[in-house]
Structure 1
Amino acid sequence: MNWRYILPIYFIYILLSIIVKLIGEQNFPGNVLLYHAINSSQVTLLNPIMVFLSEYGREYVWIPVTAALFIAGGKYRRASIILASAFVLAIIFGELSKYAVAQPRPFLVLSTYHLLVPKPHDFSYPSGHALIVGVGAITLLLTVPYYISLPLTAEAILVSYSRVYVGVHWPLDVLAGWILAAAISLTAIKLEWLEMKIYDRVKNLATHDRNEANMKEMKKEKRNQS
């Protein structure tokens, strides 16, 4: 993966963020209209599913997925290490963006909304849920077979959609989250050599410490026997 393909995605995200900072999300063309279209389309039978996806579709899916890939070993462990690295970058960049752009949630701006979950107290842009699941989906699309990545991508899209559906995010938050997710995922794949180097060093240190502990235990047993 070449930086000339990655850096323009960061540029698009930064440019979009500057525009949002200057005019506000409520003034971004189509943002309010699309929010109402999605948020007002709630269906009683679907609401519990969308609430579950919105509240738990991030941690309850992507942490176990990362752990399972690591345990599986081989190319799946490689994917899990890239994934974990991308998540760390996403958390850092996402939080910096939230405070830099500082956009209020839609329920703080609009007079009409349908809220299905408790009101979050942090800033709105970008959607942290969309960012994390977007990172997960894009990274796996590029590192593991389709029969693993496609179902998880579908889950990531549903989680992202649910954040607008339940009323806590603007559609632009979700779009921005996925744009930043694409840049971060490609960055993590580009830096795979560094991530694997760090992993190997940590693994060697852990093995060395475990071997030393075993040697001490063996010496202690010999002294006790004598």
Structure 2
Amino acid sequence: MSWVSQSINLIKEEEARFTSFSVFFKPERIQEVAALFVEANNIPSDKVYVDIQAQATENINTCVEACAKFYQACKFDIETVFPNKKHIWNQFGFNDYEAARKSGRAMFMFYSDFILIANLHKEAMTAAAWTEATFTKIAELKDKLKINMDQQTKCRVDRGRATDERVVCLNNIYEKLSKYMKAAKIIYANNEEMLRWFKFPVSSKGSKEESTEFETQEDMA
């Protein structure tokens, strides 16, 4: 992006050459490019969203572990209240627990069923083991997991939106600057030293940098 700033500043310095070359190059045209450059810089970079998404994923994993740890404690009480009643144990998710630990979404669905069955057997559980705080804790863990999952989803949506906005903005900059670059070939045809500043940068792979930065959507993985 630094070359965009350099190009804008150079065009402003050489503005008289362009305006005398063609009435197309009105002063406000380069101001439009400068405004687009500011707009592009105000869009958070993809790295920002990668970091936010990584933190959201870490928060979900922490919630999943907290849910798993609390459920293990609950299992002891369930087995005590309903000894040798595997059909009731399975209602409480004994046979689904390992699969639930594999993802935040799976654990959320598991806890949604868990609180439903816990309330179904509330009388028996409170009579022998649990207090109201236990049921509250189950609901709190489920809700906290959902909040973190929603934050992760929002980050993904925001990241995609920012990428689209950035690509549109940069493509507009490229389109507008390309007209100046084209005109510069004529204006500075006999001035190689000046002409070299009016070229799009070339990447280390030998391709024009704009082909990556302006035309290619960023990886959304």
Q: TM-score, normalised by structure 2?
A: 0.27
Looking at both structures, which has the greater relative contact order when contacts are Cα pairs under 8 Å and sequence separation is at least 6? 1
- Higher Cα Rg: structure 1 or 2? 2
Q: TM-score, normalised by structure 1?
A: 0.27
